[in-house]
Amino acid sequence: MSAEIGAKSAGLRLLTLEMARVTEAAALSAARWMGRGDKWQADDAATQAMRTVLGQIAIDGTVVIGEGELDEAPMLYIGERVGTGDGPAVDIAVDPLEGTNLLATGAPGSIAVLAVAPRGALLGAPDMYMEKIAVGPKARGRISLDRPVEENIRAVADALGKRVEDVVVVLLDRPRNQYILDAIRAVGARARLISDGDISPALATCFEETGIDMMMGIGGAPEGVVTAVAMKSLGGDFQGRLVPQNDEEIARLKAMGVNEPTRLFTLDDLVKSDDAVFSATGVTDGPLLPGVRFLPGGVAHTVTLVARAKTRTVRFIHGRHHLATKPEAVRRLTGEGSG
């Protein structure tokens, strides 16, 4: 970590609980739309709530991973400045609602996530595919995207003290990941196919009780950067390789300084600081985080995982929110008083 980035990180410790407030607000807002079949409204509600609370925090923040380019997103767009302008200068990576389809159908696994690091520390990944692999702390340093899938699975099994046939690998159920699924089955490991959202299962690899040992597959590059912050904060490991689909995407990579399209990005390439903060709040029930519960009397319950890379301190925060006492803007976003 450079001295310049290190100096900028001095105030990040104080942001840990503030980041939890941000993802809690997004989760509370999105959860009102669970099972209602409208992923766009759910994502918009989460984005508005996240943007509102970020605006109250004493940071000089710049969104580097967000809802899209300026002409694609009205808020939390790439390059948007957030915060009060006071406090540390930081990069912000957000996914206000990971698993929009999951929420729209009431399926498990949707979460609200946020990552923050000193200015200049996060890779500004373009909106394209990324090949990914994530494992928990015991398998840190034992994986490589340059090795065959089977070899990585055997290495993780050895690191965890498991038989290969006991290893569980999560991957997105997509045709582009068929070669990985075939390799998992050929080596005798077990696969868990998911329809959406690969950040949540990556987090789960860091907690043995989830039963998830690895996350692999080709998914979104922006989500890969968010995942990298999470894995650095939780002590796990992550690698990514961008997968451009055409000449235009290759040109975008070169414009951002990536002259080798097949370059392997390690954890330290993606997060160039040992001080970063990650927060995730469950929206619908998942392998690690329970979803939002709306209780009688205008009360809601949330569970948030918040972690800091510098100390690897991990907190699970159970929030009990009396929605009627929140400011009007926040009550409106969380749906309090609506039908």
Per-residue model confidence (pLDDT) at position 127 = 85
**pLDDT band of 71, cuts 50, 70, 90:** low
- CA pair distance 60, 80, nearest whole angstrom: 11
Per-residue model confidence (pLDDT) at position 334 = 54
Q: Is the predicted pLDDT of residue 1 greater than 80, yes or no?
A: no
**37-55 average pLDDT score:** 96
**64-93 average pLDDT score:** 89
Per the CB < 8 A criterion, the answer to whether 92 and 57 are in contact is: no
H or E element, residue 42: helix 39-54
Both tokens of 278, joined, read 């990650």
Residue 312: how many other CB atoms lie within 10 Å: 12
Q: Is the predicted pLDDT of residue 162 greater than 80, yes or no?
A: yes
Binding-site residues for Mn(2+) sit at 43, 67, 95, 98, 223
At 95, the amino acid letter reads: D
Least-confidence region, from 162-171, 208-217, 257-266, 298-307: 257-266
Per-residue model confidence (pLDDT) at position 262 = 84
Q: Enumerate the β-bridge partners of residue 197.
A: none
Q: Is the predicted pLDDT of residue 2 greater than 90, yes or no?
A: no
Per-residue model confidence (pLDDT) at position 154 = 98
Per-residue model confidence (pLDDT) at position 329 = 46
Per the CB < 8 A criterion, the answer to whether 130 and 218 are in contact is: yes
Domains of the chain: 1-119+275-334 (3.30.540.10), 129-270 (3.40.190.90)
Task: Say which DSSP state 263 is in.
Answer: P
Tell me the backbone φ, ψ of residue 151, rounded to 5 degrees: -65, -40
Per-residue model confidence (pLDDT) at position 337 = 44
- CA pair distance 12, 135, nearest whole angstrom: 25
Q: Is the predicted pLDDT of residue 158 greater than 90, yes or no?
A: yes
Per the CB < 8 A criterion, the answer to whether 109 and 287 are in contact is: yes
Per-residue model confidence (pLDDT) at position 260 = 82
More confident residue, 255 or 190: 190
Per the CB < 8 A criterion, the answer to whether 249 and 279 are in contact is: no
Q: Is the predicted pLDDT of residue 335 greater than 60, yes or no?
A: no
**167-184 average pLDDT score:** 98
Binding-site residues for substrate sit at 98-100, 129, 174-176, 196-198, 220
**pLDDT band of 249, cuts 50, 70, 90:** confident
Least-confidence region, from 10-14, 180-184, 236-240: 10-14
Mean pLDDT for all residues in the chain? 91
Binding-site residues sit at 43, 67, 95, 98-100, 129, 174-176, 196-198, 220, 223
Both tokens of 159, joined, read 């690191």
The helix, strand and coil proportions of the chain, stated in percent and rounded to the nearest 5, come to 35, 25, 35
Tell me how far CA of residue 11 lies from CA of 8, 24, 87, 213, 225, in angstroms. 7, 21, 7, 34, 22
Residue 46, C-beta contacts closer than 8 angstroms, at least 6 positions apart: 26, 27, 29, 30, 96, 97, 112, 283
